[in-house]
């Protein structure tokens, strides 16, 4: 009987240890996952245009974003509406990180900040180049990392200062 109790205790301890080791906070893994998410994000935008952003936005009520030129946050539905309204106006949309810092807070939440270099070509052939400073929070859902909230602003290329719209 003592052997059975001892064996059962060992099995329970081993099982609990396995659970704990698989849920330990691993910053390096989170950073690698988010790097890959952003690589996929920009690749999808390159292929699908502005519609490529849809699957990377968290569709929860906690989502908000402050886009360039806006003074307050807008909701998920508003962002989707804006992206849909403008998607057909551009033939090419290309973005890449000039700098990116990722700050994991847990295995499912992280903050990030960086500068995005990009250009867009509209349907008439006019090219717009831009530098965007961006920061936000990411959340890991069942289907991957999502943008939960954040803000972005255009950087003036000549002076490297923020563009402030009056």
Q: Report helix, strand or coil for 23.
A: coil
Are 68 and 87 a contacting pair, CB within 8 Å?
A: no
Segment 36-56 shows an average pLDDT of 97
How far apart are alpha carbons 1 and 65 in whole angstroms? Answer: 62
pTM for the whole structure: 0.79
What's the angle, vertex CA 84, arms to CA 82 and CA 85, rounded to 5? 65
Q: Report helix, strand or coil for 118.
A: strand
Task: With a cut of 60, say whether residue 114 has pLDDT above it.
Answer: yes
Q: Would you state the pLDDT for residue 166?
A: 46
Q: CB atoms < 10 A from the CB of 150, how many? A: 19
137-154: per-residue pLDDT in tens?
Answer: 999 999 999 999 999 999
Domain 26-155: assigned CATH number: 3.10.450.50
Task: With a cut of 80, say whether residue 120 has pLDDT above it.
Answer: yes
Q: Would you state the pLDDT for residue 14?
A: 54
19-45: per-residue pLDDT in tens?
Answer: 444 579 999 999 999 999 999 999 999
78-100: per-residue pLDDT in tens?
Answer: 999 999 999 999 999 999 999 99
Q: Would you state the pLDDT for residue 23?
A: 74
Task: With a cut of 90, say whether residue 163 has pLDDT above it.
Answer: no
């Amino acid at each position: 009987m003592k052997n059975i109790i001892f064996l059962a205790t060992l099995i329970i301890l081993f099982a609990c240890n396995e659970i704990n080791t698989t849920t330990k906070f691993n910053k390096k893994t989170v950073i690698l996952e988010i790097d890959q998410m952003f690589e996929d994000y920009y690749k999808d935008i390159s292929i699908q245009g502005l519609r490529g952003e849809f699957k990377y936005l968290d569709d929860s009520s906690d989502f908000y974003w402050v886009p360039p030129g806006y003074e307050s946050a807008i909701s998920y539905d508003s962002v989707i509406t804006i992206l849909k309204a403008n998607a057909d106006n551009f033939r090419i949309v290309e973005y890449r990180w000039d700098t990116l810092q990722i700050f994991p807070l847990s295995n499912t939440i992280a903050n990030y900040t960086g500068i995005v270099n990009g250009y867009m070509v509209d349907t008439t052939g006019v090219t717009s180049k831009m530098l965007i400073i961006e920061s936000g929070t990411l959340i890991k859902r069942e289907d991957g990392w999502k943008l939960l909230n954040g803000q972005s602003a255009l950087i003036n290329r000549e002076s490297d200062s923020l563009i402030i719209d009056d």
